[in-house]
Amino acid sequence: MIKLNRKAGIHLLSAFAFSLSTVASLTVGMAFAQDDCATAADSYKIGFANLTETVPFTQLVRQGLEETAAEMGNIELIIADNRLDGATALNNTENFLTQEVDGIIHFQTDAAFGNVIMARARAEGVPVIAIDIPMPGAVFFGADNYLAGQLAGEALAAWVNENWDGQADAALMLELPQSGPAVDARMQGMLDAFQANVENPVPEEMVFHLDSKNTQEESFRVVSDTLPQIPDATHIVAFSINDGAGIGTIAAAESAGRGDQIMVVGQNADPTGQEEMLKENSRYLGATAYFPENYGSLLIPTMIDLLECRPVPPSVFVNHVFIGRDNICDYYPESWPDACGAMAEATEAS
């Protein structure tokens, strides 16, 4: 069980620039609304549509929401599964509205459905928080995507400089195009930071953009198809949209007998990613952490603020840190007691 990480706070940032007059008018409007808030109540029914229930990261998000709702005592949480599908997310929205929820927390992957989902919620006067993938008019909660990418790119560049004399022959980008510009920024941040910090940037023609479809299985397939195109590349870096895509990439390289030719960084640092980076001679350098176990304790209070007409910034970003074998025990010692104990003993012995 991943323990709640007390180090991982949040910072609140207002996205984009508002004029001073606009901010003033919003503040006055919200102050008025607090005195006469039509949506304030003693208890609330909140719909949560999860991205998927098939990966540890999203399971931790859902568990955190359930725990927070139970602790608060006045929250009825209605749970649905978006199954990585925009049409399913829209259908879940309709079901929430039929059940007359007070607010919706959406974790949905398809940017093309954001406008439709938000139009339905606005028509019913139901506020929405969007996790990680923005939707127009929803409060955004989650990744500071470009920064999160930069942290991983910088770490991989440092490793290549130290271990491969600053030279990588090819770069594989395990992306998720359907999620739109915000998630694209995560991938761009990884590549930009790597190219800026590695001694010899990878030529553009040797950067391969692959659609991971957000799954380990598809990542394995597309990397397996790509490796034969670069038979002479002996130093390959890979940047993955999440831990599963990174693990699939490593598995494909190992299946091709080229496991020692690749080094991978990713995003999320969920339990599967943590396990992978702790393996002996791991090819998973690490991942930018998002601390999904903390999401629930932040999301539900934010939704209550919306429902009780208190000011909420347009974007709420989680803090990020790059986690690898060297610092995982600073953040998750109780999750890996044997590995952390062994590393502590080795440090003392040296």
Distance CA 249, CA 55 (A): 16
Residues 208 and 315 in one domain: no
Residue 240's pLDDT is 98
Strand order in the sheet with 10-13: 10-13, 315-318, 139-142, 128-131, 103-106, 44-50, 75-81
Beta strands in the chain (DSSP E): 10-13, 44-50, 75-81, 103-106, 128-131, 139-142, 170-175, 207-211, 236-240, 262-268, 284-289, 315-318, 321-324
Single out the residue of 122, 158, 125 nearest to residue 137, CA to CA.
Answer: 122
Q: What residue type is 154 in one-letter code? A: E
Residues 226 and 340 in one domain: yes
Residues 115 and 194 in one domain: no
Cβ neighbour number for residue 144 with a 10 Å cutoff: 21
Q: What residue type is 39 in one-letter code? A: T
Helix 243-255, helix 216-226: angle, nearest 10? 40
Residue 265's pLDDT is 98
Residue stretches of the chain with pLDDT short of 50: 1-33
Residues 217 and 80 in one domain: no
Distances (CA, A) of 349 to 66, 166, 324, 343: 43, 31, 21, 10
Residue 151 is assigned to a structural domain of this protein: yes
Q: Give pTM, 2 decimals.
A: 0.84
Q: What is the chain's length?
A: 350
User: What pLDDT, in 10s, does the model give residues 75-99?
Assistant: 999 999 999 999 999 999 999 999 9
Distances (CA, A) of 276 to 243, 250, 272, 281: 9, 10, 6, 10
Residues 196 and 338 in one domain: yes
**DSSP state for residue 56 in the 8-state scheme:** H
Longest dimension (CA), the chain: 69
Domain that holds residue 264: 145-289+324-349
Distance CA 131, CA 185 (A): 15
Residue 5 is assigned to a structural domain of this protein: no
Residue 35's pLDDT is 61
Residues 212 and 157 in one domain: yes
User: What pLDDT, in 10s, does the model give residues 10-25?
Assistant: 343 333 333 333 333 3
Residues 151 and 191 in one domain: yes
Residue 67 is assigned to a structural domain of this protein: yes
User: What pLDDT, in 10s, does the model give residues 294-346?
Assistant: 999 999 999 999 999 999 999 999 999 999 999 999 999 999 999 999 998 88
Q: What residue type is 186 in one-letter code? A: R
* Tokens matching residue 192: 């930009």
Residue 2 is assigned to a structural domain of this protein: no
Residues 272 and 298 in one domain: no
Residues 256 and 234 in one domain: yes
Total count of domains within the chain: 2
Residue 1 is assigned to a structural domain of this protein: no
Residue 112 is assigned to a structural domain of this protein: yes
Residue 4 is assigned to a structural domain of this protein: no
Burial 236-254 (b: 16+ CB within 10 A, else e): bbbbbbbbbbbbbbbbbbe
Residues 334 and 233 in one domain: yes
CATH number at residue 14: 3.40.50.2300
Residues 139 and 162 in one domain: no
Residue 348's pLDDT is 81
Cβ neighbour number for residue 320 with a 10 Å cutoff: 22
Residue 35 is assigned to a structural domain of this protein: yes
Would you say 99 and 45 are in contact if contact means Cβ atoms under 8 Å apart? yes
Residues 211 and 133 in one domain: no
